[in-house]
Amino acid sequence: MMAIEVKDLSKHFNRKKALADVNFRIEPGEMVALIGASGSGKSTLIRHIAGLERSDAGGSVIKVFGRPLQLEGRLTGNTRELRREIGAIFQQFNLVSRLPVISNVLVGTLGQIPDWRGTLGIFTAAEKKAAVAALARVGMPDVAWQRASTLSGGQQQRAAIARCLMQRSRVILADEPIASLDPASARRVMDVLSDINRRDGITAVVSLHQVEYARRYCQRAIALRNGSVVFDGSSSALTNDFLTELYGADSEELVLPDMSLAEGLQRDPSTTPRMRIPNPATA
């Protein structure tokens, strides 16, 4: 059973093509990077997998752990239940700044407790203890009762990850989670996601603008260009020369510091990159 299966997914906004016949499958426990230039369709794809957007009518299918989330442009009866298994992290953190950090983390329990308790903000001592443990898991055991607005950007993003842990997510979808962070904070966030993926077996799909983080943290990368998948393979194949070819006219967006093999890249010389560039005449 695949954790995520996307088949023949297309999406237009008015006349603008956002996604075009996207196909891929992700196994449970994988950590996969989504890469591509701005406007390539990364965020739109993540929103579809999260059940926040509906695809064009047609033969499209999105399944999560073998159960259909979307079929032919329609959300299924499984959608609400499957959303509970999908934790979403966004660039903007989506915390309520005036509330304590622990209250933001406890939001992750809302799909598991009675609606009336969630509405009134009533949580048990065990739930609060679990929320503090989730914060400890992301390296912030002492901030539970601070206002969320007092946290740095990197801390807010780690609090958002703790919220996913409280949700008991089996899949984490992270849309540009480190785009607005300084390098030290970005590494901490990626370290946390990598640790959760490795130790808990949680499937992670991370949209990244900084390709060097895809190469460091994700064994597999899926690249989009103009809404189409043009590469799906080992991140070790993402050499600077290959990425410049893949991004084409948008290669000026790449942030590619010099990285040696000693800095963490393990190249497999037998790996042959597979790039599928759509024909502009038929796209």
Domain membership flag for residue 174? yes
For the chain, give the mean pLDDT. Answer: 88
Distance set, CA 152 to CA 103, 143, 146, 174, 254 (Å): 17, 11, 12, 18, 26
- Picking from 52-56, 67-71, 273-277, which range would have the lowest pLDDT averaged per residue? 273-277
CATH of the domain at 82: 3.40.50.300
Contacts of 207 (CB under 8 A, 6+ apart): 33, 34, 35, 42, 43, 46, 174, 175, 176, 177
CB-based contact 218:238 (threshold 8 Å): no
Task: Give the Cα separation of 166 and 67 in Å (integer).
Answer: 23
User: What's residue 264's pLDDT?
Assistant: 43
Has residue 65 been placed in a domain?
Answer: no
Residue 104 included in any domain:
yes
87, amino acid identity: G
Does any domain span residue 107?
yes
d(CA 8, CA 211): 26
Could you report the per-residue pLDDT of 90-112, keeping only the tens digit for each?
888 889 999 999 999 999 999 88
Task: State residue 268's pLDDT score.
Answer: 44
- What CA–CA distance (Å, rounded) separates 254 from 70? 33
pTM for this model (two decimals): 0.86
* pLDDT of residue 187 exceeding 50: yes
Report pLDDT for 210: 85
Whether 18 is in a domain gets the answer no
Q: What is the mean pLDDT of residues 153-171?
A: 95
**Domain presence at residue 48:** yes
Paired strand residues for 35:
223
Retrieve residue 205's tokens.
């799909």
How many domains would you assign to the chain? 1
Fill in the amino acid letter for 210. Answer: Q
CA–CA separation, 132 and 99 (whole Å): 15
Report CA 265 to chain centroid distance, whole Å: 22
Per the domain annotation, does 272 fall within a domain?
A: no
Q: Which domain holds residue 209?
A: 33-52+78-263
Q: Are 230 and 250 in contact (CB under 8 A)?
A: no
Indicate whether 260 pLDDT > 70. Answer: no
> Residue 30 and residue 218: Cα distance in Å, rounded?
8
Is residue 96 assigned to a domain?
yes
Q: Band the pLDDT of 80: cuts 50, 70, 90.
A: confident
